[in-house]
Amino acid sequence: MKKWGVLTVCLILAGSLLAGCGGKNADQASVSDNGGSKTEKTVVLGTSADFPPYEFHKMLDGKDQIVGFDIEIAKQIAADMGAKLEVKDMDFDALLSELSSGRVDFVISGMTPDENRKKEVDFSNNYYKAQQAVVVREADKDKYKTMKSLEGVSFGIQTGSIQEDIAKSIPGAKITGLGKINDIIMQLNSNRVDASIMEKPVAEAFLKNVKGLAIADVVPEYKEDGYAIGIKKGNTELVEQINKTLDRLKAENKIDKFVSEASELVAK
Q: How do residues 256-265 score in pLDDT, each as one tens digit?
A: 899 889 888 8
The full length of the chain comes to 268
CATH number, domain 42-128+225-267:
3.40.190.10
Helical H segments across the chain, by residue range: 2-20, 26-31, 69-81, 95-101, 115-120, 162-168, 181-189, 200-207, 236-251, 254-267
| Residue 8, pLDDT above cutoff 50 | no
| Cα of 236 vs its chain's centroid, Å | 21
pLDDT at 31: 32
Give the number of other Cβ atoms within 10 Å of residue 10's Cβ: 10
Band of the pLDDT at 59, cuts 50, 70, 90? very high
- Are domains 42-128+225-267 and 132-215 of this chain identical in fold? yes
End-to-end alpha carbon distance in the chain? 68
Span 76-111, pLDDT tens digits: 999 999 999 999 999 999 999 999 999 999 999 989
Band of the pLDDT at 169, cuts 50, 70, 90? very high
For the chain, what percent of residues have pLDDT higher than 90?
A: 66
pLDDT at 5: 43
Band of the pLDDT at 17, cuts 50, 70, 90? very low
pLDDT at 6: 39
Q: What is the pTM of this model?
A: 0.66
pLDDT at 38: 53
Please provide the average confidence, as pLDDT, over all residues in the chain: 85
| Residue 247, pLDDT above cutoff 60 | yes
| Residue 160, pLDDT above cutoff 60 | yes
pLDDT at 179: 86
Q: Is the peptide bond before 53 cis (omega within 30 degrees of 0)?
A: yes
CA-closest candidate to residue 122, choices 250, 240, 223: 240
| Residue 13, pLDDT above cutoff 50 | no
pLDDT at 32: 33
pLDDT at 12: 39
The predicted model gives 120-141 an average pLDDT of: 94
Band of the pLDDT at 118, cuts 50, 70, 90? very high
Structural domain boundaries of the chain?
A: 42-128+225-267, 132-215
Span 41-53, pLDDT tens digits: 999 999 999 888 8
Which of 22-36, 86-100, 238-252 has the lowest average pLDDT? 22-36
pLDDT at 39: 65
pLDDT at 192: 97
What is the Cα–Cα distance from 18 to 187, expressed in whole angstroms? Answer: 62
The predicted model gives 51-74 an average pLDDT of: 94
Domain 132-215 belongs in CATH node 3.40.190.10: yes
